[in-house]
Amino acid sequence: MSNVEAVFHRCRAEGRIALVAYLTVGYPAPADTVPLVQALVEGGFDIVELGVPFSDPLADGATIQRASQRALANGINLARALASAAALRGTVAAPLLLMGYYNPFLRYGLERLAADAARSGIQGLIVPDLPPEEADELAAAIAPHGIDNISMLAPTSGPARMAIVGRQARGFVYCVSLAGVTGARRSLSSDLEPFLAEARRHTDLPLAVGFGLSRPEHVAAVARVADGAVVGSAIIDLIDALPPAERAAGLRAFAASLRTAALRN
């Protein structure tokens, strides 16, 4: 069992689901990444996805697209994202994941990425534009370094793709809550429960739900059917809404509200 998967088992033993935070590295400014991630973990998030900014983030909505453009303008690239992970290593207990698109990873070099990610404390990779049928090369590069290949499933994934993900995934399976892009929404899809039930037929790994989760009531709903909840756009929206001096406290309070909602009744 990897460290990432172990977090889900620990949370289950504590009677709750795991909370996974997403933050674009270098947003709003490069110096903000470390203190904002620390605030999210102090507030109650169990795992953190560090988003690598990319010029064409096809799975992301307006909020994360805007954050990516700002981070790119701030000079953030894959190497600097790894440096941010290294700066966080040892300062937070939560496992750090790298979430990014395949083009920068491939250009960096998969073997080099695997080695540098491991040295930086990264414990998992999420690549939303890499189909599982084409992920063997990446999975083979990162596995010897103890880095989990965290695969994604969407409501449109059929049994054949679910079976591939079930064989290939490590850590947890990221289940996209809807057919669309990231972004905070008012409600979750009514099709979520049968989608997760079908996914469970193909894997024993924990299932975490992401895309659209923004409120405690969303986390409470996910707690009834899944093992984890991923929150991203709502975090960036909150950062945008707060003065710089209040951002860390605001993120801690937001995380605490989600942690309460994550309890399984």
Structure tokens belonging to residue 154: 């969407």
Biggest CA-to-CA distance, the chain: 49
Range of the structural domain that residue 146 is part of: 3-261
Regions of the chain short of the pLDDT cut 50? 179-185
Kindly name the residue from 49, 116, 148, 227 that is annotated as catalytic.
Answer: 49
Give buried/exposed letters for 250-262 (b at 16+ CB in 10 A, else e): bbbebbeebbebb
Residues near 241 by beta carbon (within 8 Å), at least 6 away in sequence: none
CA–CA distances in Å: residue 12 to residues 33, 242, 265: 29, 33, 12
Question: What pLDDT shows up at residue 60?
Answer: 75
Question: What pLDDT shows up at residue 181?
Answer: 44
- Taking only the tens place, the pLDDT of each residue in 145-158 is 999 999 999 988 99
- Taking only the tens place, the pLDDT of each residue in 156-177 is 899 999 999 999 999 999 999 8
We report the CATH number of the domain holding residue 153 as 3.20.20.70
- Catalytic residue at 191? no
Kindly name the residue from 5, 46, 60, 227 that is annotated as catalytic.
Answer: 60
Question: What pLDDT shows up at residue 189?
Answer: 61
Write down the H helix ranges in 31-156: 33-43, 62-73, 78-88, 102-108, 110-120, 136-142
Burial class of residue 245, CB neighbours in 10 A (0-12, 13-18, 19+)? exposed
CA–CA distances in Å: residue 95 to residues 6, 236, 244: 10, 20, 26
Structure tokens belonging to residue 243: 């003065």
Measure CA of the first residue to CA of the last residue in the chain; give whole Å. 26
- State the DSSP string of 132-179: GGG-HHHHHHHGGGT-EE--EE-TT--HHHHHHHHHH--S-EEEESSS
Structure tokens belonging to residue 58: 């096809």
Q: How many domains does the chain have?
A: 1
